[in-house]
Amino acid sequence: MVTIDCAKATVREVNIAIRAAIADATGAVRVVNPGARHCLAVGMLRPARLRIEGSVGYYCGGMGDGPAIEITGSAGWGLGECILSGSIVCRGSAGNGAAASIRGGTVAVHGNAAARAGISLKGGVLLIEGHAGYMTGFMMQKGTIVICGDTAEGLGDSMYAGEIFVGGRIGGLGNDAKEVELTAADRAQLTQLLEQHGFDHPVGAFRKVVSAGKLLNFNKHDFEVWRVAL
């Protein structure tokens, strides 16, 4: 395993070193002393194992395609934004916009996630073991969000498609979001995801939120729905 020390290096130097280690096919990279710096491990475009020991700043692991990243601390805004594949596991909590606009892969937060987690989700899976802030799943278009704890208001606001599972209390549904019954396939999927990531939460406690579909096509008779959304 290659070890990269951030203490006396710039973010650019750290990211260059990570790419070089991955290109050498070492198989695993260990990053120490991250110091909550922004934009660490962005744009990693091949499979690799990366362990960051400590907390990171904004946009860690963003725009990745393939790497498996583990963060032993917490993360700032935009964790894993726009990843195409791979996985990011954050052992602490995450700031605003975790997993924003991801198209594939998995982002797992073992603590709480702040506002707008999974905003504009376009695929993939976001898992939150703790609580989620307001407007989680805002304008999501595809994919799956699993929240073991409680949510704030605005859950699934203006979502077009996808599914949100909540194991705790829902603080309030967003515009055009609705609850539906879980299917056997939903329970099987939840069981697999929870076991895979070591989240200890009873599947029977989860509720499912999806789009009500009123915003998919404009209807002048439903103008109030659009007015609130806009």
- In this predicted structure, which of 28-32, 74-78, 192-196, 222-226 has the lowest mean pLDDT? 222-226
CA-based end-to-end distance of the chain: 50
186 membership: H or E segment, kind and range: helix 184-197
| pLDDT tens digits, one per residue of 125-155 | 999 999 999 999 999 999 999 999 999 999 9
Residue 219 has pLDDT above 60, yes or no: yes
Angle at alpha carbon of residue 56, lines to 55 and 61, rounded to 5°: 130
Tell me how crowded residue 175 is: count the other CB atoms within 10 A of its CB: 19
pLDDT at 163: 98
Residue 228 has pLDDT above 90, yes or no: no
Reported pTM: 0.94
21 membership: H or E segment, kind and range: helix 11-23
d(CA 198, CA 85): 21
| pLDDT tens digits, one per residue of 92-109 | 999 999 999 999 999 999
What six digits make up the tokens of 221?
Answer: 């008779």
